[in-house]
Structures are given as structure tokens and as C-alpha cells.
Structure 1
Amino acid sequence: MSVKLTARQQQILELIRSEISRTGFPPTRAEIARALGFKSANAAEDHLRALARKGTIELTAGASRGIRLLGAAAGAAAESGASGGLASSVAGPVTQLFVPLVGRVAAGSPILAAEHVEREVGIEPSLFTQTPDYLLRVRGLSMRDAGILDGDLLAVRKTPDARNGQIVVARLGDEVTVKRFMRSGGQIQLLPENPDFNPIVVTAQDDFSLEGIAVGLIRATPLH
């Protein structure tokens, strides 16, 4: 069954298709607002959220170009590019996902706060079994034996839950850390993958939350 869009939603969807076909990348909220005469980017955001609810696009939080066409909309963009003789250059970026790259996280502030985002990185969703919401730049060597090294980019899917053995991004007090999650008898432990580091035992008094689970890794340093 086809999705019924308002005239304005259809206009925005066509603009997204056009920009992907023309440049290989989706427009920012500000570019949509400018092209369609909106007073602010917030108006564009409202329409994008409506399109996302109707299943024609997927939005990534914290990424200004975090717009991905879905289903028939993605196919139409690819066909549009092919008709202009640009199929080979457009086919890849049509499905490219732009996610925020998070660097050092300040104490007490949300992990996707604007001041933490170094830039947006274009990735192919097919690289990962689950679509990540952001990339986190790894600090330190506590997960070295799991193949996660200082400077690597950990692909993370936001979720407040994890299963035993999963590698997670956790917030404990003012610190954000990458560890292996283990729950036993109501007690949570965050386990390193390096014998030089000690396990972290989470108590009921600790300010603890899960920021997400690791769904992949991008090696940011050259192999020797």
C-alpha cells in the first residue's frame, strides 16, 4: 500500500532525492529550509520527522545529513541518477549513512551533545550487522585483547539494555567507558580485555547507565 504524503512532504522528499542524485549526499536541515523558504531549520525537522514516521526516510540523531531514503523512495533516487548516466557514482552514496563521530565526552553531559561531535562520517550500513547511531573514538587500551585499540572508532547502537558478554559503552559517574558487560545475581561488572586493568563492579549507589552496545569497529590506525 502506498504511503499518503502531504504536498509539502512530497516536495521535501523530491528535494532529498534530487540532492542525492546531484551530489551523492542528502541535504542538511538548513539547506532544506533555504530551498523551500522556511523561516528556520526546525520547520524542516518537523517535516522530516513526519516522513520518518511514514517510513519513507530514516533519521540519525546528531547528524545534520543523517537522512536515509527507504524503500521505494531510495529506488526512485537510484533510478533518477541512472537516467542521468550517473548510476555508478550515485548507487553507493544513496545508501550511505552519516553518523556523528563522538570524541572526548565531558562529565555529566549527553554523549551526543553537539560539543562532543567532532564531525559526521559517511559509512555503508552493510558494514555492520546492526545500524549504528554513532561512532565513538576509543581512548586507552583496556579492551586491547578484544582487538579494540586506542584511536579506533567503535560503532555503537543506542540502547539501555545489554546481554552478558556484549561490549558496551557505559556511563559510570562522570566517566564514559568501553567494557564487556556481565550481570550475575543482580550485580553488574564491566570487564576489561587487558590483564593490566581491573574489572569495575557497579554498586546500587553508583550513577550507572548504558549508552549503547558495540555493533562494529573501524580501525583508525595503520596496521604494522
Structure 2
Amino acid sequence: MRHRKALLDTASADAPADDGLTPRQREVRDFIERHVREQGVPPTRAEIARAFGFRSPNAAQAHLLALERKGVLQLFDGSARGIRLLRVAGPGAPAADAVPVADGGAAPGVATGEWRLLSLPLIGRVAAGSPILAQEHVEAVYPADARWFARRPDYLLRVRGWSMRDAGIHDGDLLAVQATREARPGQTVVARLGDEVTVKRLQREGRGWRLQAANPEVADIVVRPGDAFAIEGVVVGLLRPHGWV
């Protein structure tokens, strides 16, 4: 408790503005909103620290705690990207990480008060050449609160390996994925290359694509026109299980 109070005091050092936020808190809030809009997921503490030149993710956490206390966002334990904006800068603007409830084709859910319980299939190892959501790949079905995610996911995918380590995605994590065939540069995607499925950050590479790893020990994958390549989904959240999977 003492450590939490110290973090809050650090983040509140500047004089607050009319909206109750300090200039730096407003910058952090705007950065989170922009990151969700452009990348499809909230930033990690490490990404916030790098963006603002903080010495460690603890400084980013200090601002997040202050913003949570002021009702700007909600933090979720056990998730590297467990940040949900509750209000945004522009009057009347929609929440940057609001979860749309799609008609048909989405994961089933049960509305309960202010939250929506999703039933998400957990996909384990994907057999070569077969659809990700094939029944034989489903290890289990787990409940999840829709508010945990930047956008409504369709399934959970178990991460294998450390190729996205520096993006806060670790071996054994569960990625919440929205099934789609389209993605924007900069988004973290589930991609199929021939018979293999991989998770990487999508970037333009001339007339083709680069699937960018977030680990200097892992080589990027260059996709050229004509290669057997398809987007399977966009990552919209991350869960780090603590014994419940």
C-alpha cells in the first residue's frame, strides 16, 4: 500500500489542468488512446516508458495508477496490456477501446449488468494446413470479460516461443484474437505462411510484407508477392495465466 501511494504521489507532481489531469497524465492518456486506435491493443508499461523516456516501467505504472484513481481508465491484473479507457479527450467521443458487439459470427456471450461474458475457444497447436478454428485444435472454452480487450475477440491462441518477447508477449501467454483477413501495418497479427501459423507485427516491405519479430535473436519474415500468405486475425488483447489454464 505504501509503494502504491508513493507511485500515485509521483504521478501527481505537476499541477492539474481543468479536466483534473496533469499535462503529463493527459499525454499518457492520449498516447494510450492513439495506440489502441492505431495498433488495436493498449500499450504495455514498457512501451509507455519508451514513448515518454521514463527510466523504467514503474514510472509508467505510476501514471496509470493516477489515471485509474481519477476514473480515466481501468487496470486489469495478470495482463501485460490490461488497460481499458473509461473516458477520452473529445466530448461525446466513443471510448477508444470500446468492445463492439457484432451480429453473428462472433464468439457467443452473455450480457450481465455492465459487463459481457464471452465464451472463447482456446486454440493450442495448429495442425499444418488446417483452419485455426477447426474443432480438433480447441483445447477448451474459457469465460472472459469483454472489457478486458481493445476489440471483441473470437478466440484465444496459446503463444509458443519467444519471438515477440520485447512486445510483452511471452511463451505460454494467451492472445485474444479477432478473426479477420485484413490488418493495418503496425498491428500484431496471426498470419499463415503456407502450412505454418505465426504471430508477428505486420509491416510494409515494398510490394510485399514484413512479419517483424520483437526479439533480436529471431529473424523477421519477408513475404513477397505470390507467396502463400494470409492474415488469420488481429491481436486485441493478452492474458497471462496464473494457474487457471
TM-score band, normalised by shorter chain? 0.5 to 0.7
Q: Which of the two has higher C-alpha Rg? A: 1
The answer to whether 1:128 aligns with 2:149 is yes
Where does structure 1 lack aligned partners over 5 or more consecutive residues? Answer: 1-55, 79-90
Segments of structure 2 that go 5 or more residues without pairing to the other structure are: 1-100
> Runs in 1 of length 4+ with deviation above 4 angstroms?
56-61
**Residue in 2 aligned with 1:67?**
108
8 A Cα contact 2:205 2:222, kept in partner: no
| Residue deviations 1:37-56 (CA, integer Å, cap 9, x gap) | xxxxxxxxxxxxxxxxxxx9
Taking the aligned partners of 2:121 and 2:160, their CA distance within structure 1 comes to 17
Which residue type is aligned with residue 226 of structure 2? Q
Give the share of equivalent positions with the same residue, in percent.
55
C-alpha separation in 1, matches of 2:105 and 2:140:
14
* Cα pair 1:151 1:221 within 8 Å, conserved: no
Aligned-partner residue type, residue 118 of structure 2: L
User: Are the aligned partners of 1:162 and 1:213 in contact in 2 as well (CA < 8 Å)?
Assistant: yes
TM-score under structure 1 normalisation? 0.59
Query: Over residues 171-221 of structure 1, what are the superposed CA-to-partner deviations in whole Å (9 max), with x where a residue is unaligned?
Result: 001110000000143120000000001110012232110000100100125
Would the aligned equivalents of 1:160 and 1:209 in 2 still touch at CA under 8 Å?
A: yes
Match of 2:200 among 174, 179, 183: 179
Distance 1:189 1:95, change over 3 A: same
What CA distance in whole angstroms lies between the structure 1 residues aligned with 2:164 and 2:137? 22
Q: How far apart are the structure 2 equivalents of 1:169 and 1:194?
A: 17
**Quick check: which one's helix share is greater?**
1
2 CA distance for matches of 1:95 and 1:172?
34
Aligned runs of 1:64-143 on 2, under 5 Å?
Answer: 66-68=107-109, 74=111, 91=113, 95-143=116-164
TM-score normalised by L of structure 2: 0.54
Preserved CA contact (<8 Å) 1:160 1:211: yes
- Asked which structure has the greater RCO (Cα within 8 Å, sep 6+), the reply is 2
The equivalent of 1:167 in structure 2 is 188
3-state secondary structure, aligned to 1:162: coil
3-state SS of paired residue (1:189): strand
